[in-house]
Structure 1
């Protein structure tokens, strides 16, 4: 029995290493050691839940500990997700950690074949699917609408207005290309210009942002215009 349990832990660690090598090679936040520890920890919890309470009086459910791995690993994954302006980083790393926990759980349950196949699929998703994802991103980027967002404010409020613009335009389908200010016609005022690419033409997003910014005391005027629309160019 003990040899079988030790084998499960060794297999979980080995599969965690396989997943972690790919992450470490790409210099991700959760690399070799993190994925190894996640897989090994999940296996330990599964072994504990299956064999640690055998003969324990009461109504202890041996699957309860294993079930908590699914939700518990979410807190660890949330720690590697970062938001940088319009972009969100770490989602793939968090998903890989979640999958590493699943692989470790399978190994801890003695399901070696399923755990091995799962590892191959995880590594394949992070490597073989990467070129396909980039191709789709390029195709999506080729069909986009570019907007110019202009806000007029007092010079002293320029930094605050820049933050308001970034917050107002933060959407998954939007990408900020540039943000700069220049002197306005009226003395003491500046115009802050934001160039934004949208994956789809949705003027409601900019109407909503305009409405919110127009209510700010530091904003004197706000407007937006369509710079380019690749969909219209393709149809002509």
Structure 2
């Protein structure tokens, strides 16, 4: 029968045999996979983007690599559990309460997943690390439109969307045409139209329309494109946008006027 003490000694010696090349390789895989996850978040203009997710994955990888390098047999598992607890505190810092809505849950969950990817990379399971990375990115890319499809009746439940107001002034006789344009230009899915308020002036004068919109982190780009298209219409005199949180009429966003 084999001696358990000798077997433990062999395992400890194997764990001490972590070479510099293996250390760099595991660290690079952990950091790279965390950066891939953060790349999608950066593109969506989220609070925790490329650098944050890459650093979280790097930190988790380094903690597990340390326990492996010093030869602590139970270290990697114990450190991994500590990483899970520590990421919980970090995730709590990105969760915000906005009235009755809670924002940042997706970001916190993504940081948690980035840490898990780092732990896998540090353990040397590169195939599992790649699969986990693809799974996290796929959830963000595919889960978002699927969630919108399911919640198409209540789009405001998507925490990635933020409310904006688009205000324009047009000739009263062109109101119906402008309404049709707003519906047409917001039917692509990137901009969600929730409603339009109308303030009419004297008969034959101008009409003010306020469109209530929901957009994601690239709101400014989408709104500027929308304003550029609306400004080409001869019946529209002025267009501007601002966030729904800023209700002051004297603090609008960029303004486009037409002659």
TM-score, structure 1 as length reference: 0.56
Residue of structure 2 aligned with 1:115, choices 125, 129, 135: 129
What secondary structure, in the 3-state scheme, does the structure 2 residue paired with 1:110 have?
coil
Q: Is it true that 1:135 corresponds to 2:157 in the alignment?
A: no
> 1 CA distance for matches of 2:153 and 2:118?
37
> Where do 5+ consecutive residues of structure 1 fail to align?
142-176, 178-236
Residue of structure 1 aligned with 2:41, choices 23, 26, 33: 23
Q: Hey, what does 1:35 align to over in structure 2? A: 53
> Where do 5+ consecutive residues of structure 2 fail to align?
1-18, 156-193, 195-259
Q: Hey, what does 1:8 align to over in structure 2? A: 26
Cα deviation, residue 46, structure 1 = 0.7
Q: Is it true that 1:78 corresponds to 2:123 in the alignment?
A: no
> Residues 103 and 119 of structure 1 are in contact (CA less than 8 Å); yes or no, is this contact kept in structure 2?
yes
Cα deviation, residue 8, structure 1 = 0.1
Cα deviation, residue 10, structure 1 = 0.5
Q: Hey, what does 2:108 align to over in structure 1? A: 94
What secondary structure, in the 3-state scheme, does the structure 2 residue paired with 1:28 have?
coil
* Aligned residue runs from structure 1 range 1-236, under 5 A: 1-52=19-70, 54=71, 61-62=74-75, 63-139=77-153
Q: Structure 1 runs of 4+ off > 2 angstroms? A: none
Aligned residues: 138
Cα deviation, residue 140, structure 1 = 5.5
Cα deviation, residue 111, structure 1 = 0.5
Cα deviation, residue 61, structure 1 = 3.5
Once superposed, what is the RMSD of the aligned Cα atoms?
2.0
